[in-house]
Amino acid sequence: MTIRAKRAFKYRFYPTDGQAAELSRTFGCVRKVYNMALAARTEAWTLRQERVNYNSTSAMLTAWKKTEELAYLNDVSSVPLQQTLRHLQTAFTNFFAKRAKYPRFKSRKKSRKSAEYTTSGFRFRDGMLTLARMADPLDIVWSRPLPEGATPSTVTVSQDSAGRWYVSLLCEDPSITPLPTAETAVGVDAGLDHLLTLSTGEKISNPRHERRDRARLAKAQRELARKAKGDGANRAKARRKVARIHARIADRRRDHLHKITTRLVHENQVVVIEDLTVRNLLKNGKLARAISDAAWSEFRSMLEYKAHWYGREVIAVDRWFPSSKLCSVCGSLQDKMPLNVRTWTCDCGTAHDRDMNAAKNLLAAGLAVSACGAGVRPQRRSPGGQSVMKQEAPRREL
């Protein structure tokens, strides 16, 4: 069976000076339209209790273009401007459905620079991509081929903080097919000393990408701090140097997680993980930096969408499940398990490695959930209403 999955293929490209100027103008106009539409919708609701939809903001855009003050909106393609209004509509839909917070205004310096084009805003022929208002195609580095016969439905152009240009093509990928059913299942306990501990006994080391480049990053940040604030060229150059180091760290981390998640999904029919509240864990000032470097949320996201692609199952066990304090052999529960205890011996005589024991318990709990058809409780709160903190965080100095 083939899954008609939408898949984004991201490539780096090198624009000409004219193309870079055109795209920069487009990014600015997209941000301006989004902010004006958000302000109009907010004012309408605050003052008149009136909900403004996409059609209304689209009519506003037409009126804005006719004014002298905003006439520059006519200098860029209208497709990305309409798309940003659709994105705003989606943001409000998620807000009213209580899936997200209220939409926020886009900052010129901090927000992501991007513009999305639909089929009416680009031409893709013979492996050449040409955007609206541009005479020449983009100079794309085709690091991997698109699926045979695939035609992009949307194209998103972006520039990261390090100044690198990317284009993302959203296509249907017919090559994604479920893998043959496997008989194996694995429990995965996330940590910091080791990135992952598997119920099979394997421990996957934590590369600590941020720590490896911490000295370089600190030096670049000190140089940036010494530059005079403003829009000077020297400060911009120092800022890009810091951004390039951050980008290098993020790229290596993402590559490592892709390799791990692909392997876990290919080797196992069921993968059991713990439902972690990473946002709350980041409130721990001593561990926040290491937790961010481990990227547990990104790991789970990759694992879930790859499992969907290949017909696998990911089970998230309730975060209150005492995976570390429960003996995986006799089932007895320890009263206390301080964080500095990494190995312990049960009353039944079994010696446990804390993380490995937790992974085995997670596997057993996940298989029980799968067999009984019971749902996990990913949003469970503690009796006192406080946010849950993970008990298995290691005590090592970070």
Instruction: Give the chain's length.
Output: 398
Assign residue 349 a region: left if phi > 0, alpha if psi is -120 to 50, beta otherwise?
left
| Separation of alpha carbons 273 and 314, rounded Å | 7
In the residue annotation, 116 being an active-site residue is answered as: no
Candidates 22, 116, 173, 355; catalytic one:
355
Q: Please tell me the distance from the alpha carbon of residue 275 to that of residue 258, in angstroms, as a whole number.
A: 20
Cβ within 8 Å of residue 369, ≥6 positions away: 315, 317, 375, 376
Please report where in the chains the tokens 């713990």 appear, as a residue. 274
How many other CB atoms are found less than 10 A from the CB of residue 17?
7
For this structure, is 355 an active site residue? Answer: yes
Of 250, 324, 259, nearest to 292 by C-alpha is 250
Distances (CA, A) of 301 to 213, 260, 268: 25, 13, 17
CA distances 117 to 4, 14, 76, 167, Å, are 22, 18, 12, 11
Cβ-proximal residues to 121 (8 Å cutoff; 6+ apart), any chain:
77, 79, 80, 131, 132, 155
Closest C-alpha to 11, from 139, 152, 140: 140
> Which listed residue (116, 274, 293, 304) is catalytic?
274
Of 22, 189, 210, 392, catalytic: 189
- Active site annotation includes 126: no
CA angle 392, 366, 269 (to 5 degrees): 115
The residue written with tokens 């035609």 in the block is 151
* Furthest-apart CA atoms within the chain: distance in Å: 82
Q: Are 257 and 298 in contact (CB under 8 A)?
A: yes
Which residues are known catalytic residues?
A: 189, 274, 355
